[in-house]
A and B are shown apart, each in its own frame.
Chain A
Amino acid sequence: MTPMFKRRPSIVMTVVFLIAALIAVPAPADAQRDYEYIDISNPFLRKIPVAIPGFASGNGDPGELQSAEKAGRVLSETLDFSGYFKIIDPGAYLEAPRQTGVTAEEITFRSWTVIGAEMLVTGKAAHIDGLLELELRLFDTFKAELLVGKRYRGEPKDFRRMVRRFCSEVIYLLTGDWGVFESQIAFVSDGTGAKEIFLCDFDGHNPRQWTGHDSIVLSPAWSTDGKWIAYTSYAKGKPDLFIRHVEEKRGVVVSREGINTSPDWVPGQFALAATLSFSGDPEIYLLTGSGKIIKRITKKRGIDESPSWSPDGRKLAFVSNRSGTPQIFVQEMETGRVERLTFQGRYNTQPSWSPKGDKIAYTAMVNGEINICVIGVDGSAPVQLTSNAGDNESASWAPDGSLVVFSSTREGRSRIYVMTAYGTDQRRLLSLAGEQSSPAWSARMSSP
């Protein structure tokens, strides 16, 4: 099996409060290791059956028990979110590591293989000097082998981050990629009576309002370092492009005549493509992060908009109606050569280039129904991922390309949903007042 998920240098995060220690793991030395647990050609076809029994506590005091319970629940939810696992019903478990122990020596692996568990996660929470210590282990039950073992110590309120860090290690082991557990999602919500940008964790947890324009807001886009968001707002009465730092109160507004819309950041750079119509015609331009035009990218009469960069920044997918209807085109930046990508249907918009570079998600309207599709970058095999579930729009890839976030009206009002890259496991991300749209998934961030 050839690993499709390319390994990239692990990002070592410096987190002061959180001390992670490796629990002795017979580490596989080869970097060329196959990812034997996941069929990477379709990792969601067969989910890995995993058992996650209740976490043990150090001395059994009520605070520890509560931490153990919360950590166990969040770990189960987090691994489940990835779409790679099938969590076996705890009612089937024959053994309770909470009582017997959480280490390989204390576990009877046969008790787990007989119920179909191929993997087992054990955990133990202890309160030491006001800090929470979490000991988390992932086992291969058939090989009776420890795959990942970590000990974290930090403020009890940060238990979620410890759990997520461990889950990232698990995903890294299985796929060679750090996954989505340390990423954020930006989206538009009108629950306050006006459209504003909100941010939330990858799983919809901790939603919070980010803009306060009391106006119309559209199309948020993260810079690849997760520090900036560009978006369109009518705060000054017309559609202007706002480029703002996520945490600090600084940024610029591109306020040229006409529309200033649909930004997409150049991977790894403080620069972005966006649609401007000051020439009298919506065209795509390359801008610096401070809003200065570097150059004009498209040069065709009619609509050109919604740029989306390839991960290497060498190609740009965009929407153009130059052939009569809105279709996705791809432009090679160096040569300027443009090729049409989509040929099915009369309305294909919102291209979103996958982080792996091999696919482009887009929105297709057929017979008035709007759905998310995915197509190979060579135009091969367009696949429809949503169907018969209201209008589905604005696909945005998770940083590892395993999941797609999008908006849907399947339950009436527009809300945010997540599915795997293959269209499976479609579920609502969060419940908020009003309508939500335009989700944008950030890169993996060290400090969300």
Chain B
Amino acid sequence: MQKKVWIALALFLILPGLLFTVSCAKKTVKTDEAAMTAPEETATQVQQEQTQQEEMASKQQADMEKQRALEAEKLAMQEAQRQAMLARQQFESENIYFEFDSSALLTPAQDTLSRKAQYLRENPNIRLIIEGHCDERGTDEYNLALGDRRANSAKSFLVDLGISPSRLTTISYGEERPLDPRHNEEAWAKNRRCEFVIE
């Protein structure tokens, strides 16, 4: 029994020495050991890297999304601007027309003016110049007065629809600025008009 103890003791003492020797002599083992432990470390690193990458990716994605959103916003803005411009162009291009020697507002003219009032309500900062024009028939001075009456008819109608008169200016051009320079009914009909110019 005593013998067994001694062996056990010896083993207990030697083995670590052996172990120590081995560990000293064979660094590779330790390397191995290190190698053994390495996968664990790598995994963590990888994981970290992955996380980082993921984070970066998600950040990039976020950035991109932000960018995209921005671009979309920009596009939307551009589109809105385009729409506004179109609306403005539409607004400005839509004339109203009159009968010969008359400043009475015809039904289509009233419809057009109602749309213009709507636009003016939606764009409260806009100021408007209403130009009154006549066809070439008749005489200069009377046509200046008639153009003035036409512009004022349009103005009164807009004021009745709630547009502040302080936003509306009139100017008569009489027969001085025809849209269509020809001398026929078709041209005259086009020239008896009010034009609307945003200030």
Known A216-B176, A282-B149, A365-B137: A326·B142 in contact at CB below 8 Å? yes
Q: Would you call B113 an interface residue if the criterion is a C-beta within 8 Å of the partner chain's C-beta atoms?
A: no
CA of A7 to CA of B149, assembled, Å: 45
0/1 string, B145-158, CB within 8 A of A gives 1? 11111001000000
Of all chain B residues, which has the CB nearest A275?
Answer: B145
A232, A303, A368, A437 pick with most chain B CB within 10 angstroms? A303
Of all chain A residues, which has the CB nearest B172?
Answer: A259
The one of B137, B138, B145 that contacts A259, using a Cβ cutoff of 8 Å: B145
Chain B residues near A350 (CB-CB < 8 A): 139, 141-142
The one of A216, A277, A326, A368 that contacts B148, using a Cβ cutoff of 8 Å: A277
| Docked complex: A221-269 residues within 8 A CB-CB of B | 232, 234, 237-239, 257-259, 261-262
CA of A275 to CA of B143, assembled, Å: 12
Chain A contributes a number of interface residues (CB within 8 A of B) equal to: 38
The one of B140, B146, B169 that contacts A218, using a Cβ cutoff of 8 Å: B140
0/1 string, A148-191, CB within 8 A of B gives 1? 00000000000000000000000000000000000000000000
Q: Would you call B170 an interface residue if the criterion is a C-beta within 8 Å of the partner chain's C-beta atoms?
A: yes
Q: Would you call A118 an interface residue if the criterion is a C-beta within 8 Å of the partner chain's C-beta atoms?
A: no
Of all chain A residues, which has the CB nearest B146?
Answer: A303
Mark A residues whose CB is within 8 Å of B: 216, 218-219, 232, 234, 237-239, 257-259, 261-262, 275, 277, 280-282, 302-306, 319, 321, 325-326, 347, 349-350, 363, 365, 368, 370, 393-394, 437-438
Of all chain B residues, which has the CB nearest A324?
Answer: B101
* CB pair A259 B142 closer than 8 Å: no
Chain A residues near B176 (CB-CB < 8 A): 216, 218, 234
Chain A residues near B148 (CB-CB < 8 A): 258-259, 277, 282
A146 CB, min distance to chain B CBs, angstroms: 48
CA of A327 to CA of B178, assembled, Å: 25
Chain A residues near B174 (CB-CB < 8 A): 218, 239
Known A239-B172, A280-B152, A325-B101: A370·B139 in contact at CB below 8 Å? yes
B189 CB, min distance to chain A CBs, angstroms: 14
Chain A residues near B142 (CB-CB < 8 A): 303, 305-306, 319, 326, 349-350
Chain B residues near A319 (CB-CB < 8 A): 141-142
Of all chain A residues, which has the CB nearest B149?
Answer: A303
* CB pair B139 A349 closer than 8 Å: yes
* CB pair B144 A238 closer than 8 Å: no
Of all chain B residues, which has the CB nearest A438?
Answer: B140
CA of A370 to CA of B148, assembled, Å: 22
Chain A residues near B169 (CB-CB < 8 A): 257
* CB pair A238 B171 closer than 8 Å: yes
The one of B137, B144, B149, B173 that contacts A368, using a Cβ cutoff of 8 Å: B137
Chain A residues near B147 (CB-CB < 8 A): 259
Of all chain B residues, which has the CB nearest A219?
Answer: B141
| Docked complex: B48-62 residues within 8 A CB-CB of A | none
Chain B residues near A321 (CB-CB < 8 A): 101
A273 CB, min distance to chain B CBs, angstroms: 12
The one of B137, B144, B149 that contacts A261, using a Cβ cutoff of 8 Å: B144
Of all chain A residues, which has the CB nearest B152?
Answer: A280
Chain B residues near A370 (CB-CB < 8 A): 137-139
List of 7 A-B pairs having minimum Cβ-Cβ separation, nearest first: A282-B145, A262-B141, A303-B145, A305-B145, A349-B139, A349-B142, A259-B148
A428 CB, min distance to chain B CBs, angstroms: 20
CA of A219 to CA of B139, assembled, Å: 11
